Structure 1
């Protein structure tokens, strides 16, 4: 996945040079965050992005939402469900099961990177242990600065990126730098504001922007000079 930026000049990214990251393993095309989605997306992307949280029996599971009801026939919080219950649920009536993090990482082949988004605190040790067993290059990202700090404290060599939603570009870049991140992940509307990409690149941060839903979004991000595009589909370029 993309490392630090360039010399700070704002230039359009060539589509051949940008890192294409399948959001939730291309949620616009496949049942999100499943092993099947990963396997179907990886021939077309440079990296897949997946979400991780902990269930009641302690396993790390790959699931975006805090609640089960949008994506499965189940209900309640993931954190309150045992793994034996979760493993019987299927995602979006696809017949595909919710995977554990280690299962999802095993589905990512060598040569394809994976962006593991940490959805809650207290996952650092187990997430790093799972990443250590994976063949893929792993980048951890989170909206939670203290979750990134815990990853840093446990393994300073683990690549990390700060997810952001809004705010002053200089302050956000400073926060990512203070955490020792290699990247920053802003939304489309923020990254296209003047000065954001330049500030990140001057600080040596890669900029991977979320979430491109269509070709227009992708073109806007290329024009902004990003290093990576986090997209719901792989057929945007």
Structure 2
């Protein structure tokens, strides 16, 4: 059965990559959470998509040039004024502590394709192991060198390269870098690619699928997971397919 991953949490309705978005994704019965990590000036792993804080918070500047203390003063819900009180950028450790007692899976995306954060993989692996979550975490990245490094450091934690361009026989490529999954842009996929990959033992998790018809097509194709901003919509589509 296909799984539904909430992209940056329930980001269709709540501030992306925040604890409230993750909590609401759980309430929406998502099977997993997808999130992004960057590293602060003082080496803390924080959950935020962009290299700069400008788009999603009340602040400005690069994450790598701000301390964790400075990052925590920012409001990640400033665009939701009147609806939400101040919401902080979470630390990865804060999130892992929250997810541990749940049944959720987590896809942690290393945002290190623009800046190479030294030690990012090591720090993430140490935290995942500390919380006993190795079997419930997937590491992904557009930086495939990072994916290979993650596998070498922690072969017990699943890895999956992200793709925004087409790759010939992506299941062969995934196997070559010891990944057990691929996370392509959903526009690159058709049922043949999905079936060939899944039959080869490579899980396909497509991002970011918010269109009802596209969700239905991918779910009917036997995909392992879809990554969506709207887990409620995806769950509704899945329920309808089960009942037909």
TM score, norm. by length of structure 1: 0.87
* Counterparts of 1:27 and 1:212, CA distance in 2: 12
Q: CA deviation at 1:135?
A: 5.3
SS at match of 2:232: coil
Show the counterpart of 2:185.
187
TM score, norm. by length of structure 2: 0.85
Write the mapping of 1:120-199 to structure 2, written as runs, cut at 5 A.
Answer: 120=112, 121=116, 122=118, 123-134=120-131, 136=133, 137-170=136-169, 172-192=170-190, 195-199=192-196
Q: Is the 8 A contact 2:195 2:221 kept in 1?
A: no
Show the counterpart of 1:107.
98
More helix per residue: 2
Q: Which has the higher contact order (CA 8 A, sep 6+)?
A: 1
SS at match of 1:211: coil
Query: Unpaired segments of 5 or more residues in structure 2?
Result: 79-83, 237-244
Say whether residues 1:73 and 2:58 are aligned partners: yes
Q: CA deviation at 1:96?
A: 1.0
* Counterparts of 2:231 and 2:175, CA distance in 1: 30
* Counterparts of 1:79 and 1:25, CA distance in 2: 23
Show the counterpart of 2:72.
87
* Counterparts of 1:27 and 1:67, CA distance in 2: 18
Aligned residues between the structures: 219
Query: Unpaired segments of 5 or more residues in structure 1?
Result: 1-16
* Counterparts of 1:32 and 1:217, CA distance in 2: 22
Q: Is the 8 A contact 1:210 1:229 kept in 2?
A: yes
Show the counterpart of 1:19.
3
Show the counterpart of 1:205.
202
Runs of 4+ in 1 over 3 A off after TM superposition: none
